[in-house]
Structures are given as structure tokens and as C-alpha cells.
A and B are shown apart, each in its own frame.
Chain A
């Protein structure tokens, strides 16, 4: 399964599905990462984690560990 974690910096990809349940899943979806959304991976923090992505026209920071529940195309 390819997840958001695997998308290289500077590339975009489309969300296929969000796995898991509860607070984390809901929070990720509330922030606009839903099925079919395009996500652009902008950069990685200086210490290697978290990553900064562009989604629905704004910037979002997601930990790599959490990015694993977002399945990408």
C-alpha cells in the first residue's frame, strides 16, 4: 500500500482512502484530506519529520507516522 509517507517531496498524489478510525482519522479528514483530494508534498522538517503538505490551497503539517494511514494513488 502506498501511503502519503511514500510520496517524495515536490510531488503530488491523490488520496485513495483514509484508514484507521477515531480522533486521528477524523482530524485528518476534518482538515480536508478526503477521498480524491490532491496532496502536494512540499517539504520535510529540518529534523526529518514532520512533513509539510499543501491541501485545498493551504499548508498543513503532518507527522510521518500519521501520514501512514493516508493511502495514495
Chain B
């Protein structure tokens, strides 16, 4: 099973940017994708939704592990995964003592 890691920058917005980032992963079906959001300061719901869509729906990845995301961004990802019917493939590990935003 292949694994891919995506490091999010400090600020992310827009579906196009999510598309660009996921394109760079060269995903294969069943891949385990780690999204490292440790540097993220702020991200938009549309970016989060497109990230989930491209990785877990269109990309057919086996799982998406979201690491160290701000609370609100983690909520956006979680809501999108539920909406897209792939919540079972999403794992969120929240940062300790990290503020939202």
C-alpha cells in the first residue's frame, strides 16, 4: 500500500489550490494519505472540501489522516467527509494546545 504525505502551507484557500496540491501527490487508489497541517494558520471550508473530495472520492485513497490541524479546519474536513460519504476513511489527530484558526 503506497503512502503519500501532503504538507499544508500556512494559509490555504480555494478549490483550485487544493486541486494543485493533490495533483502533486500522484495518488494511486488505496493509498494512505497523511495531510500534515502543523503549519496551517487558516484554511477555508471550500479548500477542505475539495481536499477530501480529491483524495478520498476522486482519488479513491484508502485513508486520509489529518494531523495537527487547527480545530476549525479539522471541523471543515470532517463535515466535508461526512457530506461526501467518506467519513469512515478519515482520521483526525488534533494538535495539543493549539488554538483554532
A is bound by B: no
- Partner-B contacts on A (CB < 8 A): none
